[in-house]
Chains A and B, each alone.
Chain A
């Protein structure tokens, strides 16, 4: 389960679940995350600034005035991960995507490099039920997987300086959505109009959570708002 817990700062520790990236390992990371988050919110563990789950790691950032890495390592090591309710399943979402040429900036090139027709790539993308491994990099930005093997691809040789908001892109076995205008090196295959992070929503600004599942639904340009 947790292979080791080490310091990454005097106010931060990292729980290492190994090197592999797969859903089973990620679900363990998320069950520990949910457990610690509840303890933090109830103030049963003091001085926690942030708990950050990723594919196969969990980082805990804490206030050294109120807690320390020795105590936190002890608390986390004593948790029986098997007993944590991993039954907690995430939300299931259907997200509209438009694959029109003006949005799918890299589909043509992918079709050549993957030796698949554009329709085959789209079909495979639509058939996959994606799992949200983590939210990171920018507010609301999901890392989803796993693509079908035939769509595995590397990142662009030179990243774009600006990727349009709502671009849906793939690289390696993952799929992402860019919630903000930003630089980016992933292969863009479509666009959505769904808002992933809404600052007007004060209680729950982030649409997705780690552990959610997502299917894409093909729509016309006119259906994108």
Chain B
């Protein structure tokens, strides 16, 4: 049988292959990477009955324009995404969190994420991708991932593992997109390095998300934090969500492609259940941080998992 594939007619701004990430290898200096918004990534696969860690295309702001040159497939797009499908029958505006069939010659135009950053495209059975250390996640800086970790580029051929065989389509209704403003933080290992007044300001005044934000980190600008001890520490392990504060006092929140170790003190860490919402915040938006206890963070995590499960339970056939 002939190989089914998409051709990339427009690459989009930051389109890469992602799954849950690479684990058990951080001691080699290799960051976990993986989908920035895990929940959206997961739902794109669940809608298609895929294995939940099947590689998806992650895009930021503007997604790719893809032409299905050969084959037949079923897609699901998640996130707050505006997209169109061009087929022989004409053009339709698609809804995220719903599956669609694509036939040979159809074009999928992922125009924009609305008031958010990341979106996901999965296809039935997944793309044909090579894994490295158990994952297809791309890390362009380290040349790791399919196609030597390169971002998706114009004229790339994206191979489809298997043609779609299922008839019915599915949908999750009533997904609400809200812009969270307050993000919960647990104290970091060097919490005590910072002045009481600085911490009071950090947890009460707004911080602006700057344009210097990518898959590696988010720089926020507000009241700078005063370090009373030392602005360099012996490098230690980092996990995503850590808020490091270099000598200039301006916090950087470390995201999925973070360096594996770092030598700046960390005032805190974004709680896991707030991470997906945080990375969906656009540049120039103001956010606040609030200090919470471990118990509260763990409780929020349970609610986060329950919410995902509810959404999965609400998948309907159409």
Contact = CB atoms under 8 A, between A and B. Distances in A.
Contact of A50 (B25, B266, B294): B25
Contacts of A56: 234
Contacts of B28: 135, 139-140, 197, 205-206
B272 A9 contact: yes
Contacts of B24: 37, 40-41, 48-50
Contacts of A182: 141
A76 B189 CA distance: 18
Interface string A1-43: 0000011111110101001010000000000010001001100
Interface residues of B, number: 41
B206 interface: no
Interface string B3-44: 000000000000000000001111111101000000000000
Interface stretch (B76-84, B156-164, B236-244): B236-244
A64 B235 contact: no
A139 B239 contact: no
Contact of A140 (B29, B133, B234, B301): B29
Given A8-B189, A41-B24, A199-B143, A134 B272 contact: no
B266 A52 contact: no
B298 A64 contact: yes
A62 to B, nearest CB: 10
A57 B237 contact: yes
Contacts, number: 147
Contacts of B189: 6, 8, 14, 16
A190 interface: no
Interface string A38-78: 00110000001111111111110100110011000000000
Contacts of B32: 49-50, 61
B269 A8 contact: yes
A56 to B, nearest CB: 6
B230 to A, nearest CB: 10
A111 B65 CA distance: 56
Contact of B236 (A55, A205, A210): A55
Contact of B29 (A19, A57, A59, A135): A135
Interface of B: 23-30, 32, 132-133, 141-144, 148, 186, 188-189, 234-239, 241-242, 259-262, 266, 269, 271-273, 294, 297-298, 301, 305
Given A59-B236, A61-B32, A202-B132, 8 more contacts: A8-B239, A11-B239, A50-B24, A55-B234, A69-B294, A138-B259, A138-B260, A140-B29
Nearest 3 pairs of A and B residues by beta carbon: A52-B237, A59-B237, A136-B261
20 contacts: A7-B186, A9-B239, A9-B269, A33-B27, A49-B32, A50-B24, A52-B236, A52-B260, A53-B27, A58-B237, A59-B239, A64-B301, A68-B298, A136-B259, A138-B260, A139-B144, A179-B29, A180-B142, A206-B30, A210-B27
